[in-house]
Amino acid sequence: MKASERVAQLIKIWPKVYPNAHTELNFKNPLELLIATILSAQCTDKRVNMVTPALFKKYRSAKDYAKAPQAELENAIKSTGFFRNKTKSIRAATSTIAKKFGGKVPDSMEKLRELPGVGRKTANVVLGNAFGINEGIVVDTHVIRLSQRLGLTKEKDPEKIERDLMKLVPKEHWTNWSHWLIWHGRRRCFARKPDCANCEVFRLSRLGMAGRLSSVALGVCSKLFELLFQLLQFFVGEIFQIDQFISRLLQRTNDFVELEMHRFGVAVLGVLDQEHHQKSDDSVAVLMMSCHVSEK
């Protein structure tokens, strides 16, 4: 089955399995989503959602974040990890938004990429979920893992994986595609011990396809062995019949030889007996002649 065919089937299955799939970061506007996405790097959405309520209440505009003291913002987001680098990214990005884009988060890939600390993944999250724009496919650790397990890419680099997926997945599904794979990665297709036994799309995965091919190959091998066994039985039967024929032939040959030897023996004995009688008759004749001479 081609990758495009698997994608077509997956698009039919995913909405039934995850009808309410969405980003699990809590937000009310594009700015909040941008901040939450920056915080989600190397951190769970659950942890981010624990931090953002107080953060969003305190800082309501791009200017608020830009003016926030480094130490103060670091302390507010410390539990999300890598808080120093994240603080620098948030302050730099919001400063650019405030100065260059009038305090509003831009709604294009090109302009979002101008923001310090904002890469393609973050831009795709904001565009797809805050603006409803399918500009690309979000490729995080779950999307990378599932894309490879589903046999949709052989690449390891996120941007190369995104290009492969964009060729296979219709554009109108790009945002949802990320949600579907992320949700499945968090609920079924775990990194270490995937729940393959209960996986709704296992048959479409590389492992599932390999299992099906193995079953087919096993069936073919089974048929071949059955045929070979039948052929072996046939040849053994033929060999057995030949063996019986040879045995009968040898027995008949032995019987013939014995019969002929018997006949030959009888004939020889007859000849010897005749010679014996002839010699006896000759001896009697000589004896009688000797007696006759003596009488004279």
Exposure of 11 in the CB half-sphere (CA atoms within 13 A): 15
Whether the Cβ atoms of residue 109 and residue 134 lie closer than 8 Å to each other: no
- Whole-angstrom distance, CA of residue 223 vs CA of residue 186: 42
Task: Give me the residue label for tokens 């994240």.
Answer: 86
Exactly one of 140, 255, 281, 282 is catalytic; name it: 140
- Report which residue type is found at 259: L
Beta strands, E only, 121-210: none
Contact partners, residue 36, CB within 8 Å, separation at least 6: 25, 26, 27, 48, 49, 52
- Whole-angstrom distance, CA of residue 219 vs CA of residue 217: 5
Whether the Cβ atoms of residue 37 and residue 129 lie closer than 8 Å to each other: no
- Whole-angstrom distance, CA of residue 56 vs CA of residue 78: 15
- Whole-angstrom distance, CA of residue 230 vs CA of residue 223: 11
Whether the Cβ atoms of residue 132 and residue 121 lie closer than 8 Å to each other: no
Active site residue 140: yes
- Whole-angstrom distance, CA of residue 266 vs CA of residue 118: 120
Exactly one of 45, 121, 157, 193 is catalytic; name it: 121
Catalytic residues: 121, 140
